[in-house]
């Protein structure tokens, strides 16, 4: 084996092409690929959900199985193999039908929660055991597959117990068969969103097979609960999050979601690395969902075609001149939908159009349905997952709205930059690091790519939209140059992958 080759197991609860609820899945599909292209030896692990069992990717049984004691019983699991679509990168799917094969969108059953008939969304009550099992299973799989990574790359709370089990069980195994192999593994934990922590009642501690001695405020305990993300933050060798600004923000009480103390304590091990965009999937020059593909040379025509297509798809008036504001988002508090609601009256009075694709909290479904009912020719909504429409909005809207309360990185603004769709964003987290506000100074320097606002108020949001609309209507040349600057930017994954590679190498001493 090449001594400089670093071997990594990338573990995530969702991976695009297999299962997706948000940006984590996009990252978990694209980053391993970019790392493999840099020559790293990488494999991916995720649970085998029902949507994967019934999905398009070929699955291969391994016949391997293992048993772990969890939830006061022995639970048997398997391993199914696949590959990242279009690559040779191995994907290890953790098979446990009771835990993972219950998702069914028709019945309102998702990967992590289900929606009751009254529209209320509730987490599965056994999520601690489901993802505790997942963490154990990943570690059980290594000797069975004879795949020994030097680094396990964890993502979010669902993977947070891996370094805990490694320390408490696998490097202390009484028989110690693979003790040496497990002891060599280093762990890196990436936080994609600090607000989702996987905090569960304390009685889960023994059910997860963990000793009570770890249930203290410096390790697993968090306000009387066992906290999976805190476990990842405390027990991993290195920590990253998905933008430098968010890395700084989460060390403050306002953004820290109660974990800022832990993050401050581990500040020296915490790095912010901006996500990339996968231009194989998100690029107007080769987007199969578009009627007309386009790049900088024919952006006006390409966007006009996409806009008309979008307006027709959402039954809006087909008006080339009317500014069309787009949004593709999980409908969660994080995404600034209350600002959208407060700004809507002005936007609609002003004759603008609004296209929203999203799924999430019932109250936002109601809010958007209400807006559509009042202004059917101006407001187009689609409240479900729809890959095609996501691409159509990225291409067909004039502006892309992300008024987020907080935003660890955000991917949609990276996509809209490439599509010549000018982002209007709140200056927080990754949005600060990726969108340059069209101030006089930035316009003069030719660096402006969008519009940003700071205070989390409807007035500030409207102010940014008004600036954008004024430029769109009155200064088309300047608008074109803003689009061009955005389209020319390179947010491809290679740059971020190089940063992750440096961290892996530093951890395993292979620099």
Q: Which residues bind ligand ADP (CB under 6 A)?
A: 22-24, 26, 328-330, 357-359, 385-387, 390, 409-412
Q: Which partner, ligand GLC, ligand ADP, none, binds residue 311 by CB below 5 to 8 Å per kind?
A: none
CB of 80 to ligand ADP, least distance (A): 25
By the 8 A CB rule, do 188 and 151 touch?
A: yes
CB of 189 to ligand ADP, least distance (A): 17
Q: Which residues inside 412-441 make contact with ligand GLC, applying CB under 6 A?
A: 430
Containing 64, the helix (H) or strand (E) segment is strand 60-70
Q: How far is it, in rounded angstroms, from Cα 232 to Cα 166? A: 12
CB of 49 to ligand ADP, least distance (A): 17
Within the chain, how many helices (H) and strands (E) appear?
20, 20
Question: Of 8, 12, 24, 397, which lies in the binding site for ligand GLC, with binding defined by CB under 6 A?
Answer: 24
User: Nearest residue to ligand ADP, using CB?
Assistant: 23
Q: How far is it, in rounded angstroms, from Cα 355 to Cα 338? A: 16
Distance of CA 50 to the CA centre of its chain: 20
Degrees (nearest 5) of the Cα angle 132, 64, 141?
A: 40
Q: Which partner, ligand GLC, ligand ADP, none, binds residue 386 by CB below 5 to 8 Å per kind?
A: ligand ADP
Asked if 327 is part of the footprint of ligand GLC (rule: CB under 6 A), the reply reads: no
Asked if 407 is part of the footprint of ligand GLC (rule: CB under 6 A), the reply reads: yes
Rounded to a whole number of angstroms, the CA Rg of the chain reads 23
> Which residue lies nearer to ligand GLC by CB, 77 or 358?
358
Q: Which partner, ligand GLC, ligand ADP, none, binds residue 242 by CB below 5 to 8 Å per kind?
A: ligand GLC
> 477: which residues sit within 8 A by CB, 6+ positions away?
none
> Which residue lies nearer to ligand GLC by CB, 170 or 453?
453
Distance of CA 108 to the CA centre of its chain: 21
Q: How far is it, in rounded angstroms, from Cα 7 to Cα 150? A: 5
> Which residue lies nearer to ligand ADP by CB, 71 or 336?
336
By the 8 A CB rule, do 8 and 41 touch?
A: yes
- CA-to-CA separations, 419 to 279, 300, 319, in angstroms, rounded: 11, 11, 20
Question: Of 82, 158, 159, 193, which lies in the binding site for ligand GLC, with binding defined by CB under 6 A?
Answer: 193
> Which residue lies nearer to ligand ADP by CB, 145 or 383?
383
- CA-to-CA separations, 172 to 8, 168, 180, 395, in angstroms, rounded: 22, 6, 10, 54
Asked if 46 is part of the footprint of ligand GLC (rule: CB under 6 A), the reply reads: no
CB of 422 to ligand ADP, least distance (A): 16
Asked if 188 is part of the footprint of ligand GLC (rule: CB under 6 A), the reply reads: no
Q: Which partner, ligand ADP, ligand GLC, none, binds residue 239 by CB below 5 to 8 Å per kind?
A: none
Q: How far is it, in rounded angstroms, from Cα 48 to Cα 13? A: 10
Other C-beta atoms lying within 10 Å of the C-beta of residue 299: 18
Asked if 410 is part of the footprint of ligand GLC (rule: CB under 6 A), the reply reads: yes
CB of 27 to ligand GLC, least distance (A): 5
User: Nearest residue to ligand GLC, using CB?
Assistant: 23
Asked if 229 is part of the footprint of ligand GLC (rule: CB under 6 A), the reply reads: no
The sign one gets for the Cα dihedral 384, 389, 393, 394 is: positive
Piece of 164-172, 342-350, 379-387, 403-411 that binds ligand GLC (CB under 6 A): 403-411
> Which residue lies nearer to ligand ADP by CB, 231 or 328?
328
Asked if 23 is part of the footprint of ligand GLC (rule: CB under 6 A), the reply reads: yes
Q: How far is it, in rounded angstroms, from Cα 21 to Cα 110? A: 9
> Which residue lies nearer to ligand ADP by CB, 195 or 511?
195
> What are residue 47's DSSP bridge partners?
94
Q: Exposed, middle or buried, 320 (CB in 10 Å: 0-12/13-18/19+)?
A: exposed
> Which residue lies nearer to ligand GLC by CB, 141 or 259?
259
Which residues of this protein are in contact with ligand GLC, per CB under 6 A? 22-24, 27, 192-193, 242, 275, 407-411, 430
């Amino acid at each position: 084996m090449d001594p400089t080759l670093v071997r990594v197991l990338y573990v995530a609860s969702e991976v695009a092409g297999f299962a997706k609820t948000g940006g984590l899945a996009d990252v978990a599909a694209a980053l391993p690929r970019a790392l493999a292209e840099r020559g790293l030896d990488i494999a991916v692990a995720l649970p085998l959900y029902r949507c994967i069992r019934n999905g398009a990717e070929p699955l291969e049984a391994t016949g391997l199985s293992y048993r772990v004691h969890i939830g006061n019983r022995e639970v048997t699991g398997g391993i199914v193999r696949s590959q990242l679509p279009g690559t040779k990168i191995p994907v290890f799917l953790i098979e446990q039908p009771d835990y993972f094969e219950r998702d069914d969108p028709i019945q309102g059953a998702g990967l992590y929660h289900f929606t009751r008939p009254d529209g209320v969304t509730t987490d599965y009550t056994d999520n601690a055991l489901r993802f505790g099992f997942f963490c154990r299973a990943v570690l059980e799989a290594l000797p069975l597959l004879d795949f020994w990574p030097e680094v396990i790359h964890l993502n979010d709370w669902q993977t947070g117990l891996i370094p805990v089990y490694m320390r408490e069980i696998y490097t202390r195994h009484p028989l110690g068969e693979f003790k040496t192999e497990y002891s060599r593994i280093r762990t890196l934990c990436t936080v994609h969103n600090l607000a989702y922590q996987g905090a569960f009642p304390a009685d889960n501690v023994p059910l997860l097979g963990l000793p009570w001695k770890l249930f203290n405020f410096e390790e697993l305990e968090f306000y009387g609960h066992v906290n999976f993300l805190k476990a990842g933050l405390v027990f991993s060798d290195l920590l990253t999050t998905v933008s430098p600004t968010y890395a700084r923000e989460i060390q403050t009480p306002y953004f820290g979601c109660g974990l800022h103390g832990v993050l401050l304590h581990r500040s020296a091990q915490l790095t912010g690395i901006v996500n990339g965009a996968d231009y194989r999937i998100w690029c107007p020059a080769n987007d199969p969902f578009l009627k007309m593909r386009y790049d900088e040379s024919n952006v006006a025509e390409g966007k006009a075609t996409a806009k008309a297509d979008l307006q027709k798809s959402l039954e809006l008036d087909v008006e080339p001149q009317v500014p069309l504001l787009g949004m593709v988002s999980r409908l969660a508090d994080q995404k600034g939908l209350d600002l959208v609601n407060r700004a809507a009256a002005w936007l609609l009075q002003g004759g603008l159009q609004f296209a929203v694709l999203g799924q999430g909290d019932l109250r936002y479904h109601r809010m958007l349905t209400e807006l559509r009912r009042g202004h059917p020719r101006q407001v187009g909504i689609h409240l479900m997952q729809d890959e095609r429409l996501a691409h159509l909005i990225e291409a067909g809207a004039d502006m892309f709205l992300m008024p987020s309360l907080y935003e660890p990185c955000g991917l949609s603004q990276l996509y809209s930059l490439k599509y010549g769709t000018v982002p209007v964003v709140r200056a927080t987290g990754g949005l600060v690091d990726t969108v340059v506000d069209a101030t006089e100074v930035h316009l003069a320097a030719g660096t402006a790519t969008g519009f940003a606002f700071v205070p989390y108020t409807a007035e500030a949001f409207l102010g940014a939209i008004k600036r954008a609309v004024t430029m769109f209507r009155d200064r088309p040349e300047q608008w074109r140059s803003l689009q061009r600057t955005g389209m020319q930017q390179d947010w491809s994954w290679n740059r971020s992958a190089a940063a992750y590679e440096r961290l892996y190498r530093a951890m395993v001493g292979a620099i």
